[in-house]
């Protein structure tokens, strides 16, 4: 997939290959986070005194990282969506003139707040090694959380490319559903249960393979650091539904562009 060549980006097979590769990034990032406790103080608003800032320690760190990354033009890339779109800065590197792939409104489709909420509330408890605080690891936890959030955000917002590809493949069908504001119909049209089932099966297998010492794999001592069933649950309950939400949100506005 090459963002300078739109035809490679809007090929559904290429998109799905990219989503499969992202599974590896997400699983390895989860494994890093699994060394630490849930560490709720990282997410608590105003827990640490930070001059001129009211949010959580995670928010402060992520916002400042995004400021730096925006200056190396991270958010010019159509597959990167900032958590703090109002805080990012113009790039210091010369801009890249990406060809138009998505609709003009696509930057406005940003569900990062929802992703962060679900991550903190549901995903952190499933991937951390225990609940509670571990004061010496708060910084490491924050850095792992940022890696996880950025990987999840990229994966979930890839729904925009899926949606655009599906729209272009079946323009008439989607135009009718969008005109009728038939959200249930759009959801049904974008759903491919066979693809979803394959993802969940693959996650179980990857979870068994990646989370353990391979030389212990077949002995009773082999224990995954993140349960393969939890990986599948995280995708089934949050990653896939949120990707579909991005697809639906994008499609509902798609006719603004025609
Ligand atoms: O591959 C697709 O067609 C997608 O829409 C992506 C995705 C996913 O999140 O992985 C979402 C909905 C489909 O039911 C299958 C998979």
Q: For the segment 213-232, what is each residue's pLDDT rounded down to a tens digit? A: 767 655 554 556 788 999 99
pLDDT of residue 71: 97
Q: For the segment 87-111, what is each residue's pLDDT rounded down to a tens digit? A: 999 999 998 888 999 999 999 999 9
16 CB less than 6 Å from ligand 1? yes
Ligand 1: distance of its center to the CA of 247 in Å?
9
Kindly provide the b/e burial profile for residues 61-100, where b requires at least 16 CB atoms within 10 angstroms of the residue's own CB: bbbebbeebbeebbbbebbbbbbbeeebeebeeeeeeeee
Q: Are 155 and 243 in contact (CB under 8 A)?
A: yes
Section 151-162 average pLDDT: 98
Ligand 1: distance of its center to the CA of 8 in Å?
18
Interatomic CA distance for residues 169 and 107, integer angstroms: 22
pLDDT of residue 218: 53
195 CB less than 6 Å from ligand 1? yes
**DSSP H helical segments within the chain, as ranges?**
6-9, 12-33, 57-71, 112-118, 124-127, 138-157, 159-169, 171-179, 183-190, 193-210, 228-234, 240-253
Helix (H) or strand (E) holding 201: helix 193-210
Q: For the segment 42-65, what is each residue's pLDDT rounded down to a tens digit? A: 999 989 999 989 899 999 999 999
Kindly report the average pLDDT of the chain as a whole number. Answer: 93
The number of the ligand 1 atom at minimal distance from the alpha carbon of 166 is: 3
Nearest CA to ligand 1 atom 3: 192
Q: What is the pTM of this model?
A: 0.94
Confidence at 2, pLDDT banded by 50, 70, 90: confident
* Residue 31 in this model has a pLDDT that exceeds 70: yes
Nearest CA to ligand 1 atom 16: 196
79 CB less than 6 Å from ligand 1? no
**Cβ count near 2 (within 10 Å):** 9
243 CB less than 6 Å from ligand 1? yes
Domains of the chain listed by start with CATH number: 6-257 (1.10.590.10)
Interatomic CA distance for residues 162 and 154, integer angstroms: 13
242 CB less than 6 Å from ligand 1? no
The HSE-up count of residue 104 (CA atoms within 13 Å, CB side) is: 4
The number of the ligand 1 atom at minimal distance from the alpha carbon of 191 is: 14
Q: Which of these, 116, 118, 146, 144, lies nearest to 129 by C-alpha position?
A: 144
* Residue 211 in this model has a pLDDT that exceeds 80: no
SS3 (DSSP) at 37: strand
pLDDT of residue 48: 92
The number of the ligand 1 atom at minimal distance from the alpha carbon of 163 is: 5
* Residue 177 in this model has a pLDDT that exceeds 80: yes
Q: In which residue are the tokens 């066979």 written?
A: 194
Diameter of the chain measured on Cα atoms? 59
Point out the residues that are catalytic. 16, 155, 166, 192, 196, 243, 247
Section 117-130 average pLDDT: 95
Q: Which residue has the higher pLDDT, 9 or 253?
A: 253
Ligand 1: distance of its center to the CA of 195 in Å?
7
Q: Which residue has the higher pLDDT, 143 or 54?
A: 143
Ligand 1: distance of its center to the CA of 244 in Å?
7
Interatomic CA distance for residues 218 and 82, integer angstroms: 42
Nearest CA to ligand 1 atom 4: 162
pLDDT of residue 54: 87
Q: Which of these, 1, 31, 8, 35, lies nearest to 154 by C-alpha position?
A: 1
196 CB less than 6 Å from ligand 1? yes
Ligand 1: distance of its center to the CA of 55 in Å?
33
123 CB less than 6 Å from ligand 1? no
């Amino acid at each position: 997939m090459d963002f300078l060549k739109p035809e490679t980006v809007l090929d559904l097979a290429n998109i799905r290959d990219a989503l499969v590769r992202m599974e590896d990034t997400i699983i390895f990032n989860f494994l890093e986070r699994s060394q630490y406790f849930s560490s709720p103080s990282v997410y608590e608003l105003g827990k640490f005194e930070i001059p001129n800032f009211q949010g959580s320690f995670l928010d402060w760190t992520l916002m400042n990282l995004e400021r730096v990354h925006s200056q190396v033009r991270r958010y010019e890339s159509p597959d990167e969506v900032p958590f703090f779109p109002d805080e990012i800065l113009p790039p210091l590197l010369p801009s890249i003139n990406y060809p138009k792939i998505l609709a003009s409104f696509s930057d406005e489709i940003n569900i990062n707040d929802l992703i962060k909420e679900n991550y903190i509330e549901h995903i952190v408890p499933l991937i951390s090694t225990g609940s509670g605080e571990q004061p010496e690891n708060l910084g490491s936890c924050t850095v792992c959380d940022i890696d996880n959030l950025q990987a999840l955000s990229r994966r979930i917002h890839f729904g925009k490319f899926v949606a655009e590809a599906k729209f272009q493949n079946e323009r008439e069908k989607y135009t009718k559903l969008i005109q009728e504001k038939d959200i249930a119909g759009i959801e049904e049209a974008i759903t491919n249960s066979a693809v979803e089932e394959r993802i969940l099966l693959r996650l179980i297998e990857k979870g068994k393979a990646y989370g353990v010492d391979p030389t212990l794999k077949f002995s009773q001592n082999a224990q995954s650091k993140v349960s393969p069933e939890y990986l599948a649950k995280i995708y089934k309950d949050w990653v896939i539904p949120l990707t579909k939400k991005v697809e639906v949100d994008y499609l509902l506005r798609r006719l603004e562009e025609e």
